[in-house]
Amino acid sequence: MNESMNRQYYLASRPITLPTPSDVPYRDVPVREPAEGEAVIRNLYISLDPAIRGWMSEVNNYIEPIAIGDPIRSSVIGRVVKSRSDLLEEGDVVMSLGGWERYTYGAAAAMHKLDENAGIPLSHFLSVLGPTGLTAYFGLLEVGRPEPGQTVLVSAAAGAVGSVVGQIAKMRGCRVVGMAGSEEKCRWITEELGFDQAINYKTCGDYEAAIRQACPDGVDVYFDNVGGDILDGALMCLNKFARVAVCGWISTYNDPDAPGPKNLWQLVAQSVTIQGFVVLDFQDRFAEGIDQLANWVMAGKLKFREDIVDGLDNVLPTFLKLFDGSNSGKLIVRNPE
């Protein structure tokens, strides 16, 4: 690749199911000078998140859809190669909203400077000390509100968000059951992360029966990462005054015909609270969350996996790993200098 050109993977058409290379082709555009107040960064890490699939569609969402012709939007960490702002200088490392591209241009004021000499691998700021760790932290504690002794069920439990949710719930004194899509993932969350039990949802058969068996005292908090039939099974196992924290519905993102949940009447039957959230709802408390997550990581109480794939040109096939479950933890593309 020619470093003097900016390779960008952009949205050419809105996918209906899984995005294909014709929905997300690339182009090479000449680099330009940053405008006044802007900086240009060379992206080192590109965060791949299920939410990006939602932004590719023209639906009501918490931020605008990606416009046709725009680079695919994602969180990035990059090194400043040129700045026309007093806030940043060449060589600084920043986290920013950027794209699936070699260089990102943006207002320096909207870029968050990171200390690359703090002894923390930069990728952690996209995972456990970044959006996915914070989603787990605030989603579980503020929306799920688990009490010691209660049972917490989490889906996509070996993923970036789910694996952190389960460990925090254990630290809160809960019984924790995770649902994941392979024996290896089920072993990891029970043997390494301390979950009490795991359900392999690809082999367990009837979800309601499997959840009932793994949660003999019922479910007090369901942290929902997947929606669909697993949500329906979980709804049937909820205790009186249970909470359902709706974090994401990944099973529906590539299926325009996905049916809605059938068992929502359990909200009445069991006086259940169901609440959706986005991590940005807690933006003014991010410093507190990062501080707590970092303390747990340093104390060895919080483990996590990162799945880092090299090469900007691998970005689309790598993104698809989120939807077949072949990612192991937080999925990131690295674009070495």
Binding segment for ligand NAP (CB under 6 A), chosen from 65-73, 101-109, 160-168, 212-220, is 160-168
Q: Map the chain to HEC letters.
A: CCCCEEEEEECCCCCCCCCCCCCCCEEEEECCCCCCCEEEEEEEEEECCCHHHHHCCCCCCCCCCCCCCCECEEEEEEEEEEECCCCCCCCCEEEEEEECECEEEEEHHHCEEECCCCCCCHHHHHCCCCHHHHHHHHHHHHHHCCCCCCEEEECCCCCHHHHHHHHHHHHCCCEEEEEECCHHHHHHHHHHCCCCEEEECCCCCCHHHHHHHHCCCCEEEEEECCCHHHHHHHHCCEEEEEEEEECCCHHHCCCCCCCCCCCCCHHHHCCCEEEECCHHHHHHHHHHHHHHHHHHHHCCCCCCCEEEEECHHHHHHHHHHHHHCCCCCEEEEECCC
- What's the closest the beta carbon of residue 2 comes to ligand NAP, in angstroms? 32
Q: Is 231 a residue that touches ligand NAP (CB under 6 A)?
A: no
Q: Is 57 a residue that touches ligand NAP (CB under 6 A)?
A: no
Nearer to ligand NAP, 56 or 279 (CB): 279
Among 39, 198, 244, 322, binds ligand NAP (CB under 6 A): 322
Among 51, 153, 169, 302, binds ligand NAP (CB under 6 A): 51
- What's the closest the beta carbon of residue 71 comes to ligand NAP, in angstroms? 20
Among 5, 309, 313, 323, binds ligand NAP (CB under 6 A): 323
- What's the closest the beta carbon of residue 136 comes to ligand NAP, in angstroms? 8
Q: Is 74 a residue that touches ligand NAP (CB under 6 A)?
A: no
Among 146, 166, 181, 261, binds ligand NAP (CB under 6 A): 181
Q: Is 182 a residue that touches ligand NAP (CB under 6 A)?
A: yes
Among 72, 111, 156, 244, binds ligand NAP (CB under 6 A): 156
Nearer to ligand NAP, 153 or 161 (CB): 161
* Residue of this chain nearest to ligand NAP (CB atom): 159
Q: Is 251 a residue that touches ligand NAP (CB under 6 A)?
A: yes
- Tell me the site size for ligand NAP, rule CB under 6 A: 29
Question: Is the distance from CB of 28 to CB of 37 less than 8 angstroms?
Answer: no
* List of residues contacting ligand NAP (CB under 6 A): 49-51, 131-132, 135, 156, 158-162, 180-182, 185, 225-226, 247-248, 250-251, 277-279, 322-323, 325, 327
